[in-house]
Amino acid sequence: MYTNILGFPRIGRHRELKKACENYWAGKIPESQLYEEGNQIRTSNWLLQKEWGIDLIPSNDFSFYDQVLDLTLSLGAIPQRYAFLLKNKTELYFAMARGYQKEGQDIIAMEMTKWFDTNYHYIVPEFVKDQSFSLSYNKALEEYEEAKALGVETKPVLIGPISYLLLGKEKEAEFDRLDLIDRLLPVYIRLLKELEDAGATWIQLDEPFLALDIDEKAKILYQKVYQSLKDACPKLKIILTTYFEGLRNNTELAVNLPTEALHIDLVRAPGQLDEVIRLFPASKVLSLGIVEGRNIWKNDFGHSLEVIRKATVALGEDRILIGASSSFLHVPYDLKTETDESRLTPEIKQWLAFAEQKVEELAVLKELAGGNPPDKTFRALEENRQAICRKETSALIHNGEVKARAKAVLEKDRHRKSPFAVRKRIQHSLLNQPLFPTTTIGSFPQTKEVRSWRAKYKKGELIREEYDRLLKGEIEKAIKWQEKIGLDVLVHGEFERNDMVEYFGEQLDGFTFTQNGWVQSYGSRCVKPPVIFGDVSRPAAMTVDWISYAQSLSSKPVKGMLTGPVTILQWSFVRNDQPRSETCKQIALAIRDEVLGLEKAGIKVIQIDEPAIREGLPLRKEDWKTYLDWAVAGFCISSGGVEDSTQIHTHMCYSEFNDIIEHIARMDADVITIECSRSQMELLNAFVEFKYPNEIGPGVYDIHSPRIPSVMEMVNLLKKAAKVIPPAQLWVNPDCGLKTRGWAETKESLIRMVEAARILRQEY
């Protein structure tokens, strides 16, 4: 029985890679130093896994930016616009990732998108109809040999050819990127042959699309392609690797592909084991993904041993690998670096495992499953059992009141008192809003100054009273200025917030935070998600004082500003001992209390942001409805308690709405603001067929760049919108919050936006 790790974090234990990359980009360190840093990270990752006795240690899981981009470069699929950089590999690589602005040249970066349902983003391969491929350099081979020189035999990791094509995008009309396979395959074969010749035996080929919905064409290609690989490289032992979902209707296909081994994710899809075993061909090896690669909870050894036992009974010990469910890329490095017990108490810490601890878990599981483990391993099993037991009963996690309340939620709690048509009349007469009312999405520029106040306050260098006074000064300035330029619904500016999820997590029970729990989001960007460990409740009001203060300064309505339950859930590490839907409901109830608190304090307009609702969609379409039902219900629970007269807004960043628009409508927000300007209102196509019933503010300018839009371009965009949405339903607002912008461009842009609304009012 071998242990199998699919990939290790690569940002460095102390985010060394981030620092090295950013210094290199800023011209502060030479290329050689950047490469040296990468070398050290790889070395330390390999040696660590070797010390724990891991059998299949991954190589080529390292990347300076993204593993898909690495492969694109290796395969020579370099878009034409970067051709002039071919001589300099490093410059070429980062230009593809980040764009190139130098010496009068301005070349855009390749597109980036989410890696399946994770918060990691990859660089999307671009394909043209006569795309050519060539093995430009063999990164997998280089890293394999690098590890070998250190005395570590590794298992090179590569994205499989079909998934690689599926991850990309056609940049020209009228061809199917899967048709490029005949050109791509020979290059893959060369790449693999070089590995084979260098002595590699096990190879991990990731084909996550086998766990997704794929069409007949892809299925046929899978058979053809894997047969060719087998014929070309008979000595390589390929582990066909799937994760993030179960194989379901692709089970028969996947188990019968001619590879030495198959890896399945038994954390996300434990139910698939029986079917896989039932259909598994004789002599094939099965890799059991049992140690979670996506979350930070300790493995339940008792449970894992049962799974291993079941598989060994069916297939025999020598046909089993025990592995991680997916790459550990999605979890932080090492729990041992969490030393602040006021943040992560020992009680919570005993339930956690980061990447390094997960390596240890696999090592221990192997000893336990293999029989005759040493005493120390027996003790580890006992400790694990106790920790898991304590979790089941801990008063820190389980709050009877919260559970009872969630259970008692009734259908009527998920609905506003009256239908939108009734609410609209009441709200309009109360708020006296003009046609094309203007507003913003919430945040105003987080200047260096504002951030320095928060940093000082957190370090104890600024007392609470002083911090509050400074922030109130900012709020006052922002309110007065918004009044002056004639915005209709004002915001307080979110100056007190570091991050739209962390700010609420810090004030809710059931959440905690790590010191170093960094996870790569894209390139050198890392995030430190909050940890939801227990039942969630709201011990005290979170935003009421700030918003009330802002409202006290103006006779115009100031929007209460909250983050919605789905977004809070989606951007956190969530507990694994209850369904996500249940945790969502608890957060929704906490937000509901805050909404009611704001209403009671006299706030007439309340926005509940849900930018993450779309990214929470399950990978398989057949699961969408179940998710959307509880996600929409979560939003409705948080917003449904208010009077008809209270206007509920929600905001979502760029989402392809077309396929979920009916569910968005079911959220029944009085007003929804969306990101639209980058696509020139293309998004509004969704509204041609589907008559969206409530009010809507399609963003009229892109806040991601400092560019100041002209009045007329905003007028034109709004006219475009008015063609598919009745003008009486339209709002005027930017695409998203303004916290990353400077004040100068923000002011000028908003003055022009208000002017655009005035022009429209005269025309309609």
* Active site amino acids: 704
- Binding residues with ligand GLN: total (CB under 6 A): 13
Name the minimum Å distance from CB 484 to ligand GLN: 21
Among Zn ion, ligand GLN, none, what does residue 12 contact (CB within 5–8 Å per kind)? none
The verdict on 214 binding Zn ion (CB under 5 A) reads: no
The verdict on 609 binding ligand GLN (CB under 6 A) reads: yes
Single-letter code of the amino acid located at 232: A
Contact status, residue 534 vs residue 575, Cβ threshold 8 Å: yes
Among ligand GLN, Zn ion, none, what does residue 443 contact (CB within 5–8 Å per kind)? ligand GLN
Among Zn ion, ligand GLN, none, what does residue 617 contact (CB within 5–8 Å per kind)? none
What does residue 634 show for φ and ψ, rounded to 5 degrees? -60, -45
Count of beta carbons in the 10 Å neighbourhood of residue 60: 28
Contact status, residue 267 vs residue 246, Cβ threshold 8 Å: no
Contact status, residue 521 vs residue 120, Cβ threshold 8 Å: yes
| Those residues with Cβ within 8 angstroms of residue 306's Cβ, 6 or more apart along the chain or in another chain | none
Name the minimum Å distance from CB 683 to ligand GLN: 15
Give the per-residue contact string, 374-413, with ligand GLN (x = CB under 6 A; - = no): ----------------------------------------
d(CA 697, CA 703): 15
Among ligand GLN, Zn ion, none, what does residue 753 contact (CB within 5–8 Å per kind)? none
Among ligand GLN, Zn ion, none, what does residue 207 contact (CB within 5–8 Å per kind)? none
Name the minimum Å distance from CB 650 to ligand GLN: 10
Measured from the CB atom, is 266 or 558 closer to ligand GLN? 558
In angstroms, the Cα distances linking 12 to 20, 21, 144, 520, 663 are 10, 12, 19, 10, 41
Residue nearest to ligand GLN (CB): 737
C-alpha 48, offset from chain centre: 27
Give the per-residue contact string, 720-759, with ligand GLN (x = CB under 6 A; - = no): ----------------xx-x--------------------
User: Which among 451, 438, 443 is positioned nearest to 491, based on CA atoms?
Assistant: 443
Contact status, residue 312 vs residue 488, Cβ threshold 8 Å: no
Single-letter code of the amino acid located at 73: L
**Tokens (6 digits) for 558:** 């100031």
**Tokens (6 digits) for 93:** 């690589």
Among ligand GLN, Zn ion, none, what does residue 293 contact (CB within 5–8 Å per kind)? none
Single-letter code of the amino acid located at 406: A
Measured from the CB atom, is 146 or 488 closer to ligand GLN? 488
Q: Is 244 helix (H, G, I), strand (E, B) or coil?
A: coil
d(CA 70, CA 139): 8
Looking at residues 622 to 661 of the shown chain, list those that interact with Zn ion (rule: CB under 5 A). 653
User: Which among 669, 644, 672 is positioned nearest to 431, based on CA atoms?
Assistant: 644
Name the minimum Å distance from CB 126 to ligand GLN: 27
Name the minimum Å distance from CB 442 to ligand GLN: 3
Measured from the CB atom, is 523 or 611 closer to Zn ion? 611
| Those residues with Cβ within 8 angstroms of residue 733's Cβ, 6 or more apart along the chain or in another chain | 438, 439, 440, 441, 673, 697, 699, 700, 753
**Tokens (6 digits) for 304:** 């894992």
The verdict on 653 binding ligand GLN (CB under 6 A) reads: yes
In angstroms, the Cα distances linking 468 to 193, 316, 379, 454, 507 are 64, 66, 51, 10, 17
Beta strands of 585-743 (E only): which ranges? 605-609, 647-652, 671-674, 695-698
The verdict on 611 binding ligand GLN (CB under 6 A) reads: yes
Q: Is 738 helix (H, G, I), strand (E, B) or coil?
A: coil
Single-letter code of the amino acid located at 518: W
The verdict on 559 binding ligand GLN (CB under 6 A) reads: no
d(CA 643, CA 664): 21
Binding test (CB under 6 A) with ligand GLN, winner from 119, 443, 514, 746: 443
Span near ligand GLN by CB under 6 A; candidates 86-94, 297-305, 379-387, 439-447: 439-447
- Binding residues with Zn ion: total (CB under 5 A): 3
Give the per-residue contact string, 728-747, with Zn ion (x = CB under 5 A; - = no): --------x-----------
Measured from the CB atom, is 611 or 698 closer to Zn ion? 611
User: Which among 137, 160, 121 is positioned nearest to 76, based on CA atoms?
Assistant: 137
Span near ligand GLN by CB under 6 A; candidates 86-94, 158-166, 441-449, 452-460: 441-449
Give the per-residue contact string, 310-349, with ligand GLN (x = CB under 6 A; - = no): ----------------------------------------
Among ligand GLN, Zn ion, none, what does residue 699 contact (CB within 5–8 Å per kind)? none
Among Zn ion, ligand GLN, none, what does residue 360 contact (CB within 5–8 Å per kind)? none
Measured from the CB atom, is 16 or 615 closer to ligand GLN? 615
Binding test (CB under 6 A) with ligand GLN, winner from 500, 589, 664, 757: 500
Name the minimum Å distance from CB 563 to Zn ion: 11
Contact status, residue 498 vs residue 454, Cβ threshold 8 Å: yes
Task: Please name the residue that has the structure tokens 């139910």.
Answer: 271
d(CA 713, CA 709): 7
Give the per-residue contact string, 515-554, with ligand GLN (x = CB under 6 A; - = no): ----------------------------------------
d(CA 54, CA 355): 13
The verdict on 502 binding ligand GLN (CB under 6 A) reads: no
User: Which among 566, 583, 572, 576 is positioned nearest to 527, based on CA atoms?
Assistant: 572
Among ligand GLN, Zn ion, none, what does residue 609 contact (CB within 5–8 Å per kind)? ligand GLN
Measured from the CB atom, is 125 or 697 closer to ligand GLN? 697
Name the minimum Å distance from CB 607 to ligand GLN: 7
Span near Zn ion by CB under 5 A; candidates 106-114, 173-181, 384-392, 610-618: 610-618
Give the per-residue contact string, 101-140, with ligand GLN (x = CB under 6 A; - = no): ----------------------------------------
Name the minimum Å distance from CB 610 to ligand GLN: 9
Task: Please name the residue that has the structure tokens 């050198």.
Answer: 524
Among ligand GLN, Zn ion, none, what does residue 406 contact (CB within 5–8 Å per kind)? none
Which one-letter DSSP state was computed for residue 399? -
Contact status, residue 136 vs residue 220, Cβ threshold 8 Å: no
Name the minimum Å distance from CB 723 to ligand GLN: 26
End-to-end CA distance of the chain: 73
Measured from the CB atom, is 20 or 561 closer to ligand GLN? 561
Count of beta carbons in the 10 Å neighbourhood of residue 87: 7
Binding test (CB under 6 A) with ligand GLN, winner from 442, 517, 523, 616: 442
d(CA 370, CA 383): 19
Name the minimum Å distance from CB 387 to ligand GLN: 36
Span near ligand GLN by CB under 6 A; candidates 21-29, 264-272, 416-424, 436-444: 436-444
What does residue 27 show for φ and ψ, rounded to 5 degrees? 75, 15
Tell me the β-bridge partners of 648: 606
> Whats the size of the chain, residue-wise?
764
User: Which among 374, 240, 365 is positioned nearest to 307, based on CA atoms?
Assistant: 365
Among Zn ion, ligand GLN, none, what does residue 70 contact (CB within 5–8 Å per kind)? none
Measured from the CB atom, is 353 or 664 closer to Zn ion? 664
Measured from the CB atom, is 126 or 609 closer to ligand GLN? 609
User: Interface residues with Zn ion (CB under 5 A)?
Assistant: 611, 653, 736
Positions touching ligand GLN (CB under 6 A) are 441-443, 494, 500, 561, 609, 611, 651, 653, 736-737, 739
